[in-house]
Amino acid sequence: MTARITAAMWEAKANPGSGDALVDWVYATALPSLEGVPGLERVEVFRSADSRVVVVSLWTGEPSGLPDPPRELVARPPHEWDFEQVQR
């Protein structure tokens, strides 16, 4: 039997001019908050041309959310979704 894999996706839109600061916050604060959480397999960070930052974490256990970024960095509260891997 294959372990259930869940992808947790977190997406935030940076305020104009705050894209670099939001990425820095993700690496300095958000990702360290996941260290040692059981079931975390991998984390990847992506950035779009319009200053959206996406964090995708893969879990074999219950996903853990990321902390909220400082309000001055984001245009709106982050969105979060969990997806289960499809086995065929």
pLDDT in tens, 39-59: 999 999 999 999 999 999 999
Name the DSSP letter for residue 30: I
Give 3 or 55, the one with higher predicted confidence: 55
63 class by beta-carbon count within 10 Å (0-12 exposed, 13-18 middle, 19+ buried): buried
Instruction: Decide: 82 and 45 in contact? Cβ < 8 Å.
Output: no
| Predicted TM-score of the model (pTM) | 0.92
- What pLDDT does residue 41 have? 96
